[in-house]
Structures are given as structure tokens and as C-alpha cells.
A and B are shown apart, each in its own frame.
Chain A
Amino acid sequence: MGTASGIIRALNSGVKHLAVKRFTLRYPEEKLKFVGDGYQFDPTVGVGIAGLKGRHMLFHDHCTGCQLCSIACEGVAEAIAMVKVPEGWKHNKKSIMPQIDYGKCVFCGLCVDACPFYALYMTNDYELSSFTKEGLIYTPAQLQVKPDVRQDSEIVIDERGATHG
């Protein structure tokens, strides 16, 4: 193949893509949809359930304050600290629950694998930025709140190319 024809073919290949749909996700307006409600773990069979590893969610009525999540995190990021909670629970004698510092968390999800009481899951919420370092520290009360996520954009593939429909 000659040099001129090669360059024309390369240019032609680029020009053809003017007709291809835009693939970019327009992020703040559109958000990508994920499978499920976030990464979860089933301790009875010892296998996780697929989902996004985002912000955690803590179920106060399951947490016994056993600190296994905190111990798992010690070897990874030291993001989890056990703190006192004001309300008393019968199953949580010491009244301690995890508090997570998202300035340190690496979202590996090993704390979820460590929890034997179905108390700690991860959610689809990944927008955690804050203006202060303290704003990244989520107390047990904040972790209890189910996040409000509106994510509906999916990759659609047709003859004219792939888009985030």
C-alpha cells in the first residue's frame, strides 16, 4: 500500500466516525446504572453478592459491636473506628458501632466480608466529596441512612455505535 493511499484511508477512517454516536457519559446530568444495591456478603455460604463498592450502610438492629470489621480494616486502611452510640441495644452490650473515615477507606469491601451478622453492606452511593476532613467521617447514625441515588444510564449498543442511553 502506498503512502498516499494509506494516509487517505486513515483520514477516511476518522471522517467515518463523525457519524458514530457520542459515547461520553454526561456525568452530573446522567449517572451510570449499577447492578443491585451495592456489594453484599452472605456469611452462611461465604460468597459475596455482586454490586458497586460504594459508601457503607450499617444496620443498627444487626450490629453487635464485635469489631470484626475494624480488625479487618486495620490491615488495609485503618478507616474504621468503633465509637459509642447513645441508644442501647440488647444485642450490643458495649453500645459500640463502626464509624468510617472515607478519607482513608479504599473501598475494598473486606469489612463487609468480615461481618458475620448481616450488619454492614455497601451501597451505590459514590459521591462522597466534602470540603472538610471531618465531613468525610461518617458516624453510625449517618451510615444508617439509605442513600438516595438516581442512576439510570446504561450502555446501549446498536448499528450506529455505543452510547449511554
Chain B
Amino acid sequence: MDGTVGAASASAAAPPSPAGAGAPAGRLPPGLSVERTDERIMTLNVGPQHPGSGHMRLVIQVDGDYIVNCDPDPGYVHRGEEKMAEYRNYVLNIPHLERPVIHDSCNVLYPYCLGAEDILGVEVPERAKYVRVIASELNKCIYIQYWLAIYGIFLGHSTMFMWPAGDRELLIDLMEKLTGARVTHAYFVPGGVRNDLPANFEDACLRQVGYFEKRIKEYADIFYDNPILVSRTAGTGVLSRMDAVRFGTTGSVLRASGVDFDLRKREPYDAYGEMDFSTPVLKDGDSYARSRVPWLDMMESCRIVRDALAKMPKSGSVRTKLKPNPKGKLPHEEVYRRVESGRGSLGCHIVSEKKPEPYRVKMSVPSFRNLICMPNLLRGEKLGNMPAVYWSLNYWPVEADR
């Protein structure tokens, strides 16, 4: 931030600008500062319009080809979701709270629904817990496939853009059958899910998830074992185990640095306690490990989906009816619930008053946590490695801004 303003005004400040009539020569208006920089250092703005940065700006200072400093500047897609949540009741908050990550909309809603259930005192039916696990895992795969497609295209591997984008369609079709929408499903509600599984869903699910799993295994040859990808990503942006914990990273970034932390195992919510799965952990902490962990995650997700379909109660309700008018009956309390989303642990802090609307909804998002370590990873890297490091952080700009 200061870097660009400083660089722009440093050149203009040498002859005092006649336009700044109010400010006397040598004094700048409040908020602006002049920053003297080394002749060798050049400041680059990557974004916010540049597609390589997502909806955010990276102020990068380079010395030749090497990055000496990086200042991520998110906030271009702030929508005020948290404030909007204070004016709507617990059910009507659903469609807008899933907007931050439309590809992972079930997981974004998950902590909110769990928290709202605690406040409203609703018990989720047993079958709904399994349906939620299925929807959440399918959605996680859809998100990771989308992320993988972007990661592929920014490393110049256009086949890796086409394949995940195409195979994602298998799961989107399942979610469309289940929830009625390709993205932004609005499927989870406090008290369960909106509708039961459609007829013949289990057969279609097993068939398409099986084929999907076969397909993602084929990514090994063309992408993950490809020496060109390995030479571009291995050893770049190394995040040590201590640093990963110190910066508070979550999800695939944390697990790629050798810390086995997965909320589905540590704090099992809904039916995850009964699922049989493992969490992939890699030790290297470089961009390659960070790009590989989500891929291994997808295979575990396929396992969970199959497991949940087998263990699910064959009949029963999927939604507990909410009381028609909770006005004046809600307790004054606060809850914090978190789930493991496609990017990492996603938390939601809800404070309720004696009103139908929540007093405060605060989302603690994994994208923002993972962004914090980025300046550290980029320092000393070549500029050409910036996309490989940046996208390996599993970062979704809209979620970080909310």
C-alpha cells in the first residue's frame, strides 16, 4: 500500500505539485507518505485486474528477478456479509452467507448451520447428518477441482485446466440432482437439509464418484509426476512446520507442512465420527506438497461419500421443523462452531439476542489465515515462481474479504 503511493508521489514530489494548493510545499495531505526506495528496487502492482492475482492486489518489490518484499492487499470484493446477517433471520441468512465461496457453498454454510442449531436448540435427524456429510464432501471435491484447474493454467499446463474442469461436471451433476442447483445450493438449513435424496441417487452417486476417482488418479502421470511441474514447484515457497503453526495456517497448507490437523478427525461433527478415512500429510512444506495434499484429499472424500452412503439410515426424516415464531424465546448466548472446508478450518461465531435475527455473525475464514504467511513465502523467490506459490496457498479472494 505504502509502497505504491510512495513510489507515485516520490516522483511527483520532487517539483512541488501545483495541483495540491491546500497543502504547503513539503507537506503531504494526511494519509499519504513519501517513501524513499533504493534505485535497484522496483515496485510492481500485480492486480487487482490482472487475472493472475484473483480479486486482490499484490504489491511486490523486486530486485532484478528476485522478490524482496510482498504486501498482499485484499479487500476488493468485500460484500459486507457479516453485517447483512444482522438484519435477516436465521433461515433467510442462508442464500447470502453461501456467496463468499459459491463452489464450496455447502461447507461455507456448515458452521453457520451447526451454530444456529445450538442456539435454536434443534436436533438434527440421524439421516440428515449423513446427507450433510455426502453433500459436504462432494462440494469439497468440486471446489478442489476448480482450484486445481486454476493452478494448472497458471503454471502453463492447459490440459490440467481442461481435465479438472470437465471431471468436475460429474459431481456438479450429482449436486444438481440432490440440491437443485449447480452452484449456490442453499441446501443446508438449521435443523437438517432442505430435501431428501432423490430416487436412484445412490446408484448414480456410486457410479459417478467411482469414475471420478478413476479419473483423478490419472492426474498423477500428466501433472503430479510430471518433471516439469516438479521442477517448477518443488522447493519453492517452503513453509516450515514451526512457521505453519506460528502463522496460524489451516487446511492443506498446514497439512503440507507436516502437521496432522483435520477437524473432521479432531472435533468430529455430525456423522464424521463414524466415517472411515485418513488425512493425508506431507512433510516438505513447499508448493508441490501444498498442491498435492488437496488431490489426496479428494480421494479420501470419495471414500467418505461411499462410506456415508453405506452407513446411512435407509429412511427417516431429514429436517426438523423449526418453531414458527421464535420471537422473544431465543436465549442470549454465543456459539462458535468450525468445520473442515475445502481450504481449511472454517469457523462461525454467532451471538444471539432475544430477537429472530442474530446479533452478530462472524466468519473466521481459512483463506485469510493462509494469506498471512504469503509475504514470508515469497521473500527471496523469483518473480516467475509467484503464481506457483500464490495459488498453492489454496486462497479464495472472495472468502477472505467476505
Compute how far the CA of A72 lies from the CA of B181 in the bound complex, rounded to whole angstroms. Answer: 19
Residues of the B chain whose Cβ atoms lie less than 8 Å from the Cβ of A115: none
8 A Cβ contacts from B200-257 to A: 200-201, 204, 207-208, 211, 218, 221-223, 225-228
- Judged by a CB distance under 8 angstroms, whether A52 is at the interface is yes
Residues of the B chain whose Cβ atoms lie less than 8 Å from the Cβ of A108: 94-95, 184, 186
- Judged by a CB distance under 8 angstroms, whether B319 is at the interface is yes
Residues of the B chain whose Cβ atoms lie less than 8 Å from the Cβ of A162: 170, 208, 211
Compute how far the CA of A49 lies from the CA of B197 in the bound complex, rounded to whole angstroms. Answer: 8
Residues of the A chain whose Cβ atoms lie less than 8 Å from the Cβ of B91: 110
What is the 8 Å Cβ interface bit string for chain B, positions 88-130, against chain A (1 contact, 0 not)?
Answer: 1101101110000000000000000000000000000000000
Compute how far the CA of A35 lies from the CA of B203 in the bound complex, rounded to whole angstroms. Answer: 13
Most buried by A among B89, B177, B184, B223: B177
> Is A45 touching B317 in the complex (CB atoms < 8 A)?
yes
What is the 8 Å Cβ interface bit string for chain A, positions 1-36, against chain B (1 contact, 0 not)?
Answer: 111001101101110000000011000000010111
CB proximity of B216 to chain A, nearest CB, Å? 13
- Judged by a CB distance under 8 angstroms, whether A102 is at the interface is no
8 A Cβ contacts from A144-165 to B: 155, 157, 162
Which residue of chain A has the shortest Cβ distance to B181 in the bound complex?
Answer: A53
Q: Which of A24, A34, A77, A109 contacts B194 (CB 8 A)?
A: A109
> Given contacts A13-B222, A48-B195, is CB(A110)–CB(B170) below 8 Å?
no
Residues of the A chain whose Cβ atoms lie less than 8 Å from the Cβ of B211: 157, 162
> Is B319 touching A35 in the complex (CB atoms < 8 A)?
no
Known pairs A10-B223, A24-B166; list 4 more (Cβ under 8 Å). A9-B225, A32-B173, A35-B198, A50-B198
- Judged by a CB distance under 8 angstroms, whether B49 is at the interface is no
Interface size on B, residues (CB 8 A): 45
Compute how far the CA of A132 lies from the CA of B151 in the bound complex, rounded to whole angstroms. Answer: 38
Compute how far the CA of A35 lies from the CA of B195 in the bound complex, rounded to whole angstroms. Answer: 13
> Is A6 touching B170 in the complex (CB atoms < 8 A)?
no
> Is A6 touching B225 in the complex (CB atoms < 8 A)?
yes
> Is A35 touching B177 in the complex (CB atoms < 8 A)?
yes
8 A Cβ contacts from A19-70 to B: 23-24, 32, 34-36, 38-39, 45-53
- Judged by a CB distance under 8 angstroms, whether B260 is at the interface is no
Residues of the A chain whose Cβ atoms lie less than 8 Å from the Cβ of B94: 108, 110
> Is B317 touching A47 in the complex (CB atoms < 8 A)?
yes
Residues of the A chain whose Cβ atoms lie less than 8 Å from the Cβ of B92: 72, 75-76, 110
Compute how far the CA of A157 lies from the CA of B195 in the bound complex, rounded to whole angstroms. Answer: 27
Compute how far the CA of A35 lies from the CA of B180 in the bound complex, rounded to whole angstroms. Answer: 9
> Is B197 touching A3 in the complex (CB atoms < 8 A)?
no
> Given contacts A109-B194, A155-B208, is CB(A53)–CB(B180) below 8 Å?
yes
- Judged by a CB distance under 8 angstroms, whether A113 is at the interface is yes
> Is B177 touching A7 in the complex (CB atoms < 8 A)?
no
Residues of the A chain whose Cβ atoms lie less than 8 Å from the Cβ of B199: 35
> Is B196 touching A76 in the complex (CB atoms < 8 A)?
no
Most buried by A among B195, B211, B226, B321: B195
Please list the 9 inter-chain residue pairs (A to B) with the smallest Cβ-Cβ separation, ordered nearest first: A48-B195, A75-B92, A50-B198, A13-B221, A53-B180, A6-B227, A108-B95, A46-B321, A108-B186
